[in-house]
Amino acid sequence: MTEHRSGQRDAYQLILDAIDIGTYRPGDRLVESELAERFGVSRTPIREALQRLETQSMLKRDGRSLIVASLDHNQLAELYVVRTELEGLAARLAARHATEEEVRVLRAMVEEDRALLNDPDALSRANRRFHKQIHLASHNRYLVQQLDLVHRFMALLATTSLAVEGRGSVALAEHETIVAAIEAGDGDAAYRALKTHISQAFETRLKAVSGAVRSDLR
C-alpha cells in the first residue's frame, strides 16, 4: 500500500511540475499512455494522478480527453485578489522575521535577474524563485502552504506578464523596493510594495489580454 501511494504521489507531482514549468500549457491534452512513457511510471498511478488533478480543477474534460485547464476573466480576478493579500502578508512577516542571510539572498536575486531581461521565460522562472524566497522568509508554514496553492493555479496562465515590453525592468525595480522595505524591517512598507507589485502585474496582464482580443476582432 505504501509503495502504491508513493507512486501515486510521485506521478501527481511529476505532472504538476510539468504544468508549472510550461511543458504542458492550458489547452494541452494529457494522454495517460504518453505520460506513463514520459515519466517512466505505470499507468495506474498516472490515471489516479489525473483524476486528482481534475478534482482540483487543474485539468478539465474536453469530450473524453483531459486537458490542462485555463482561467477565465472572473477566475483570474479572484486569484489575483487572494494572491495580492497573501503575498502582501508574506512581505509584512518577512520584514519582521527574515534573517540577514535571507535578505542578502533576495538582494542577490534582484541583481542576478537583470541579466534575464531579454528572456521572459527565464525571468518568469526567476520571478517565481524570488517570490518563493519571500514566502519562506515569512517563517509561517501555513502561509507558505496557501501561497503554494495560489501559485499552482498561476501555472494555468498561458503567458507571463513579464513578456510585455518594459514590464521586466519595472518589475525588478519593484522587487528592489520590496527588498529595501524588508531589509529596513518596515512591515507596512513591505506589505504596500508587494501589493502594488502584484497589482501592477495584474493590470499589465489585463491590458495584454485586452490588446489580444482587439487584434482578433480586426
Amino acid at 101: E
User: So what's the pLDDT on residue 208?
Assistant: 80
Q: Residues 57-76: pLDDT tens digits?
A: 999 999 889 999 999 889 99
pLDDT at 36 over 90: yes
What does the DSSP assignment read for the chain? -HHHHHHHHHHHHHHHHHHHTTSS-TT-EE-HHHHHHHHT--HHHHHHHHHHHHHTTSEEEETTEEEE----HHHHHHHHHHHHHHHHHHHHHHHHH--HHHHHHHHHHHHHHGGGTT-HHHHHHHHHHHHHHHHHHTT-HHHHHHHHHHHHHHTT-SS-GGGSTTHHHHHHHHHHHHHHHHHTT-HHHHHHHHHHHHHHHHHHHHHHHHHHHHHHH-
Quickly state the pLDDT bin for 9 (edges 50, 70, 90): low
In Å, what is the CA distance from 141 to each residue of 159, 184, 186?
29, 23, 21
Asked whether the beta carbons of 208 and 164 are under 8 A apart, the reply is yes
User: So what's the pLDDT on residue 22?
Assistant: 83
User: So what's the pLDDT on residue 217?
Assistant: 41
User: So what's the pLDDT on residue 211?
Assistant: 61
Q: What percent of the chain has pLDDT over 90?
A: 75
User: So what's the pLDDT on residue 161?
Assistant: 84
Q: What percent of the chain has pLDDT over 70?
A: 92
Q: Which residue has the higher pLDDT, 21 or 95?
A: 95
The model's pTM is 0.83
Q: Residues 73-86: pLDDT tens digits?
A: 899 999 999 999 99
Q: Residues 121-178: pLDDT tens digits?
A: 899 889 999 999 999 999 999 999 999 999 989 889 877 788 888 899 999 999 999 9
Domains along the chain with CATH numbers: 2-68 (1.10.10.10), 73-217 (1.20.120.530)
| Average pLDDT score over the chain | 90
Q: Which residue has the higher pLDDT, 215 or 41?
A: 41
pLDDT at 102 over 90: yes
pLDDT at 118 over 60: yes
Beta bridge partners of 29: 67
Residue 34 CA to residue 53 CA, distance in Å, equals 17
Amino acid at 177: T
pLDDT at 17 over 50: yes
pLDDT at 215 over 80: no
